[in-house]
Amino acid sequence: MFVQYLAVILVVIGNVHSRGSQHVTCGSVVKLLNLSHKTRLHSHDVKYGSGSGQQSVTGTQQSEDVNSHWAVKGPTNNDYCKRGEPIECGQSIRLEHLTTHRNLHSHHFSSPLSNSQEVSAFGEGGEGDSGDIWTVMCEGDFWNRDGKVMFKHKDTGSYLSASGHTFGRPINGQMEIVGTMSPDGSTNWKVQEGVYIHPSDFNPKKSYGGHDEL
């Protein structure tokens, strides 16, 4: 029920901005668009038939799909980021898939279509391992909602990317998401929609000016 409610919020807000902070904050839920291939980072309870056999991560062009929501959180459960704090450029984070509660993950397995580095969703209840940690690579001090961002995998040094290859059944037309060692246009991402958590000192009676923040 919560996921369906959140999907409605994200569809309604689109790219509306408020007068508040324009940073992505810890605890926010976002959809991420690959700027080269115009596909949103996506996952679902479908496992790879090769490689690790873990839950697959793909790209979809469907803007309203509830399986494209990712929650921004700290690098470990013991090293959490404070709810509502802006995410700094260079900060380590995890991205938890909101529907299945598995973390965006990578490791030294080959991806099924392009033989690049596999990207999967891993863990149970939001807990996984060090392969879930990504470094936010952006310009300036903080991850801006309108700015380009790259995600560098802490364990392997690869960058989150879309390969341009698409799958057949059972996920027909969805794009392969991979890790690549060479950053290029395909490693650039942008927040397309989001529900943003304010810092603890945010006063909605004074500052609220839109529908893209909670």
Whether 19 has a pLDDT exceeding 90, the answer reads no
Question: Is the predicted pLDDT of residue 139 greater than 60, yes or no?
Answer: yes
Q: Is the per-residue pLDDT at 16 higher than 60? A: no
Ranges of each domain in the chain: 2-184
- Is residue 98's pLDDT more than 50? yes
Q: Within the chain, what is the greatest distance between any pair of CA atoms? A: 53
Over residues 40-53, the pLDDT tens digits come to 999 999 999 999 99
Residue 36 reports pLDDT greater than 90: yes
**Exposure class string for 84-121: b at 16+ Cβ within 10 A, else e:** bbbbbbebbbbbbbbbbebbbbbbebebbbeebbbbbb
Phi, psi of 85 (to 5 degrees): -75, 140
pLDDT score recorded for residue 170: 81
**Mean local confidence (pLDDT), 134-140:** 97
Q: In the predicted model, what is the mean pLDDT of residues 76-81?
A: 87
Task: State the pLDDT confidence band at 12, using cuts at 50, 70 and 90.
Answer: very low
Mean pLDDT over the full length of the chain? 87
Those residues with Cβ within 8 angstroms of residue 75's Cβ, 6 or more apart along the chain or in another chain: 92, 93, 94, 133, 154
Q: pLDDT digits over 179-211, tens only?
A: 999 999 999 999 999 999 887 644 433 332 333
Instruction: Classify domain 2-184 by CATH architecture.
Output: Trefoil (2.80)
Range scoring the smallest mean pLDDT among 77-86, 118-127, 192-201: 192-201
Residue 3 has a pLDDT of 46
Whether residue 120 is predicted with pLDDT greater than 60 in this model: the reply is yes
**Bond preceding residue 170 cis, omega within 30 of 0:** yes
Of 5-9, 62-66, 185-189, highest mean pLDDT: 185-189
pLDDT at 200: 62
> What local confidence, expressed as pLDDT, does residue 143 receive?
98
